[in-house]
Amino acid sequence: MEIVSTFAEARERAAGHVGLVPTMGYLHEGHLSLATEARKRSDLVVMSLFVNPLQFGEASDLARYPRDLCRDAALAEAAGVDVLFAPALDEMYPTEPVVRVDVGSLADVMEGPHRPGHFAGVAIAVTKLFAGVRPDSAFFGRKDAQQLAIVRRLAADLSLPLDVVGCSTIRDAEGVALSSRNIFLDEEEHRAATAVGRGLMAAADAVEDRERSGGALEALVASAIASEPMLRLEYVALASAHDCSRLSRLDEEAFLATAVHVGATRLIDNVHIDLRDGAFVADRGVRLDGPTILEAN
Ligand code: PAF
């Protein structure tokens, strides 16, 4: 695996079908599963690693975001990445960008109001990665369901010539969706966070038992969260996977998403709901059967 820091170097390596895995580093099995999927579908796998300041609201959140290039490089190489593209700030943003990517109403719901400017920051970073690396496919986790919907729409609305591939959420052995932020949870907080996964799994079962009411599905998640006093619910919403609008009835591809606070940490999670041959099928994610690499640190 090569580590490069400029778009020109990343592009020079392009050969055949290029798969891009955009990340902010501090890799866990979720990122590695994207690299594995990219490996299956591409001749060259490029993983980008850039902690994008434009998508962080508070400077303190940006400052405490974990970073470790050596650790990430070893994990990326083992997962089959060919090129690790780790640009410095002035490669990504040689000047403060004046032209921005407006994601419109997609950012007005769920995560958007709680993280002003976040999706605009994601959109410009992703657009620059697509333009600079020029991948044929780009791989994103379903864990960030609203981000995935926005990136899909960005690629479609701007006619960007690439496939956006959504991959299943990876969960730890207790069912908590993997996130680099999980390292901030202490043992009690982690135990409390398992209620989120339980609520979502109950809703996934209900979907497959033909529950179609958005309110009823949301209530299943909310009641599991309410049963855990350490959790504070921010929102739970059944949303369209096409435009992120709230659905009162499940009648298209969707995701049931939630955000909770546990201690000083904010967690998001969801189940993606596909429509296959006229039937709704929930993607519950993939549960690891042992400790995560995040726990090894
Ligand atoms: O999901 C992430 O890690 C980031 O939002 C992304 C897509 C790499 C853009 O900075």
CA atoms within 13 A on the CB side of 20: 27
For residue 37, pLDDT over 80 is answered with yes
C-alpha 46 – ligand 1 centre gap (Å)? 14
Question: Which residue's C-alpha comes closest to atom 7 of ligand 1?
Answer: 22
Q: Residue 142 belongs to what H/E stretch? A: none
Q: What is the pLDDT of residue 225?
A: 98
Q: What is the pLDDT of residue 101?
A: 96
Q: What is the pLDDT of residue 209?
A: 97
Q: What is the largest CA-CA distance in the chain?
A: 54
Q: Is 80 exposed, middle or buried (0-12, 13-18, 19+ CB in 10 A)?
A: middle
227-231, long-range: CB within 8 Å, 24+ apart, which pairs? Answer: 227/195, 228/192, 228/195, 229/192, 230/188, 230/189, 230/192, 230/262, 230/263, 231/192, 231/193, 231/195, 231/196, 231/260, 231/261, 231/262
Pairing relation of β-strands 137-141 and 18-23?
Answer: parallel
Tokens standing for 115?
């993280």
- What is the pLDDT of the chain when averaged over all its residues? 96
Q: What is the pLDDT of residue 29?
A: 97
pLDDT tens per residue across span 179-192:
988 989 999 999 99
For residue 205, pLDDT over 90 is answered with yes
The residues lining ligand 1, judged by C-beta closer than 6 Å to any ligand atom, are 22-24, 52, 55, 122, 125-126, 144, 147
Sheet strands side by side (includes 231-240): 231-240, 254-262, 265-276, 279-283
Cβ count within 10 A of residue 163: 15
Segment 78-85 shows an average pLDDT of 98
- For the chain, give the percent of residues with pLDDT over 70: 100
For residue 226, pLDDT over 90 is answered with yes
* pTM score, whole prediction: 0.96
C-alpha 223 – ligand 1 centre gap (Å)? 30
Segment 54-82 shows an average pLDDT of 93
Q: Which of the 8 DSSP states describes residue 232?
A: E
Give, for ligand 1, the residue of 46, 47, 103, 147 to mutate: max count of ligand atoms closer than 8 Å to Cβ: 147
Confidence band, pLDDT 50/70/90 cuts, at residue 238: very high
For residue 119, pLDDT over 80 is answered with yes
Tokens standing for 74?
């070893």
C-alpha 144 – ligand 1 centre gap (Å)? 9
Confidence band, pLDDT 50/70/90 cuts, at residue 84: very high
pLDDT tens per residue across span 122-166:
999 999 999 999 999 999 999 999 999 999 999 999 999 999 999
For residue 223, pLDDT over 90 is answered with yes
Q: What is the pLDDT of residue 297?
A: 61
Give, for ligand 1, the residue of 21, 119, 143, 144 to mutate: max count of ligand atoms closer than 8 Å to Cβ: 144
For residue 201, pLDDT over 80 is answered with yes
Segment 14-29 shows an average pLDDT of 96
C-alpha 24 – ligand 1 centre gap (Å)? 6
Question: Which residue's C-alpha comes closest to atom 3 of ligand 1?
Answer: 23
Confidence band, pLDDT 50/70/90 cuts, at residue 294: confident
Catalytically annotated residues? 31
Q: Which atom of ligand 1 is nearest to the CA of 144?
A: 1
Q: Residue 160 belongs to what H/E stretch? A: none
Query: How far is CA 77 from each of CA 39, 65, 70, 193, 243, rounded to the nearest angstrom?
Result: 11, 22, 11, 31, 35
Give, for ligand 1, the residue of 20, 49, 55 to mutate: max count of ligand atoms closer than 8 Å to Cβ: 55
Q: What is the pLDDT of residue 295?
A: 83
CA distance 243 to 35: 27
For residue 59, pLDDT over 90 is answered with no
Segment 17-21 shows an average pLDDT of 98
Output the DSSP codes for 72-140: HHHHHHHTT-SEEE---HHHH-SS--SS----GGGGSSTHHHHSTTHHHHHHHHHHHHHHHH--SEEEE
Q: What is the pLDDT of residue 207?
A: 98
Confidence band, pLDDT 50/70/90 cuts, at residue 296: confident
Q: Which atom of ligand 1 is nearest to the CA of 51?
A: 10
pLDDT tens per residue across span 241-269:
999 999 999 999 999 999 999 999 999 99
